[in-house]
Amino acid sequence: MAREGESRSFRRKFCKLCLDKVERIDYKDDRRLARFITDRGKIVPRRISGTCARHQSQITEAVKRARILALLPFTSDQYR
């Protein structure tokens, strides 16, 4: 698991989902998806999260579906 942060410049980022061997990201799994959105509700970009291309595209699709079902916010209203 990815418990250590991936902050320092030389530290290589890795895809946490590959590490967990996640085959498919489910839009119903809002707890897992919540890790890939910011506190404003934006999807975290790959350059920040280090997610691989395959998983990132799965994340975006899943987050968008979860938003339709109000499992995840489109935006956080506490910042309005």
Partner 1 sequence: MKLYETTIIYDPSLEETRINEEIERVTQPITAAGGEVIDVQRWGKKKLAYIIRKRRDGTYVHVKHKSPPTLIAEMDRRFRLNESVLRHLSVMAPKDDPRPEAAVAEGGEAGTIATTVPAVVQE
Residue 19 neighbours by CB under 8 Å, 6+ apart: 1, 2
Residue 45 neighbours by CB under 8 Å, 6+ apart: none
Asked if residue 20 binds partner 1 (CB under 8 A), the reply is yes
Of residues 47 and 80, the one with the C-beta less far from partner 1: 80
Asked if residue 40 binds partner 1 (CB under 8 A), the reply is no
Cβ at position 9, least distance to partner 1 in Å: 24
> Binding to partner 1 (CB under 8 A): which residues in 48-77?
54, 65, 67-75, 77
Distance of CA 39 to the CA centre of its chain: 12
